[in-house]
Amino acid sequence: MAEVSEVKVQIVDAYVPEWEGTVTLKLEKMLRHLKGRRDVWLARSQSGSGTLIAKRFHLGDKQDREYNCEVSGIKQLTKRGILCPKLMFTANDKNGGLWVVTEFIGNSTELSEIVLHCTNPAVLKAATQQFVNALIMHWQLGVHQTDAHLRNFLWNGQFIYTIDVGSIHFSEGALALTKKTTILEKMLGGYLESFRCDLIQAFVESCAGQGESELLARIESPNFASRIEEQEAKNLRRIWQKSRRDCSQYMKEQHGFRMLVCQRDLEPDLIEKLKHAPDELMEMGQRLKSGNTCTVQQIEWAGRAIVVKRYNPKPIFYRIRHILHMSRAMRSWSNGIVMNQLDVPTVVPLAVVEESNCGLLERAYFLMEHFEGESISDYLNQKENDEVEFERAVSGLSRLFARLRQFRVVHGDFKAKNILINESGLRLIDTDGSRFLVNRRRFTLKFQSDFKRFLSNWPDGSRVRRILKNRLSAIFDQ
């Protein structure tokens, strides 16, 4: 929420002497949201005693269980010597909410932010190594974080702190080797490929020194990589489903005949515009394309360049036949979310709006970050004699196609303008027709067809086409 709100809570149990009675919490920023279950806030007390993390469990069937898991989990981690935020107090409010309030770990960053945005290799290596050391310590002490998302770990430059402890399972004694291996495979299947390689290397370096030689042997076994790929496929399906529901990352709301799904951190005033008058965005900025089926506009909002695609209504009989199908706008949104999660370079999806009448889709809008680049064909033609830039572009294409192959992704339209490039790298766009985990036999045919369409952007006999065919054919012919 944009404005600071306040809530009065009655302390139930205090774990630090200064807390007692009734406390007014100033809720400054919502950090996470799970609809109907819990919210996590950056907060301060009215007395100004420093920054806190306040987690509210909503009144409902799961409230008591999740609240008790959170409290007992923090106590268990502390007892076992695992770093986690200090429990300050528990409380309730007049609306039946139960609160767990902990200290705020200053100068800390979610590990996900380090992995995604850190440009210092030494910092990334140090954080990764400490994360591995923390995981090994967890397992040796009988601690299993069932939701090992990188957002559930904080890094303060020296140590890893474990948060969101309600999803942790505790056991007496160390976890069995099979259990540790299964946990690790599932974790690695959910991480970006680049970070996964760093993480595996950190495990290789740490296992022997921490008495985990058997785990190291499992990691180095021939079947380990294939089992990670299986977990990647499961993770892909989970991401696809999550992209269309209300959760900590995405907001989903129905407003009359409009349904909105967007990034939860999208600018509040832009969210309001999408709820009530999305078509007004088409009168702003610059028109990029006008067509019968799709209209494309580039706008700027709060200093951010955004592309808005409006999908115009199809004929009534077409909409009746496709009433159970996902709209192109929603496919663009979900495919973009999945590809970003899988480390496939594509533009960042921001929001999707669907307007309907009597259950039939009318207009739909898809918003994404603008990527200022030129088509891959124009770029390679211009840089044909620039060895460094030409090689950078071809290497980028090789990584892109290899990543698509890994998840058996068929794009369906590799015309040159659907792959953009600038000094920061490549972006694949127009992904609404993409399909994931296509049947292996069918995928081979479709993927080779994609490659032929890609090469057709250059005339037969051209030097660029010949180089691309020689360098990339192996990826498509496997």
The second-level CATH assignment, the architecture, of 374-476 is Orthogonal Bundle (1.10)
Residue 3 has pLDDT above 70, yes or no: no
pLDDT in tens, 332-359: 999 999 998 888 999 999 999 999 988 8
Average pLDDT (168-196) is 90
Residue 36 has pLDDT above 90, yes or no: no
pLDDT in tens, 96-127: 999 999 999 999 999 989 988 888 999 999 99
SS3 258: strand
Contact 51, 43 (CB under 8 A): yes
In CATH, what class is 109-237? mainly alpha
The third-level CATH classification (topology) of the domain covering 5-103 is: Phosphorylase Kinase; domain 1 (3.30.200)
Cα 267 from chain centroid (whole Å): 18
Count of Cβ atoms closer than 10 Å to residue 74 Cβ? 22
pLDDT value, residue 4: 52
Stretch(es) of the chain classified as CATH 1.10.510.10: 109-237, 374-476
Instruction: Give the C-alpha separation, 274 to 365, whole Å.
Output: 9
Encoded tokens for 169: 């399972």
SS3 148: coil
pTM reported for the whole predicted model = 0.72
pLDDT in tens, 131-141: 999 999 999 99
| Band (169; pLDDT cuts 50, 70, 90) | very high
In the chain, the percentage of residues whose pLDDT exceeds 90 is 73
Count of Cβ atoms closer than 10 Å to residue 238 Cβ? 13
Backbone φ and ψ of 416, nearest 5°: -60, -35
Encoded tokens for 152: 């559930």
Averaged pLDDT score across all residues of the chain: 92
Task: Tell me if the domain spanning 250-369 has CATH number 3.30.1380.
Answer: no
Residue 47 has pLDDT above 80, yes or no: no
Encoded tokens for 29: 């920023």
Stretch(es) of the chain classified as CATH 3.30.200.20: 5-103
Residue 463 has pLDDT above 80, yes or no: yes
pLDDT in tens, 271-288: 999 999 999 999 999 999
Contact 278, 261 (CB under 8 A): no
Phi-psi region of 346 (alpha: psi -120 to 50; beta: other; left: phi over 0): beta
Q: Any idea which residue has 């970050």 for tokens?
A: 369
Sheet holding 160-162, edge to edge: 109-110, 153-155, 160-162
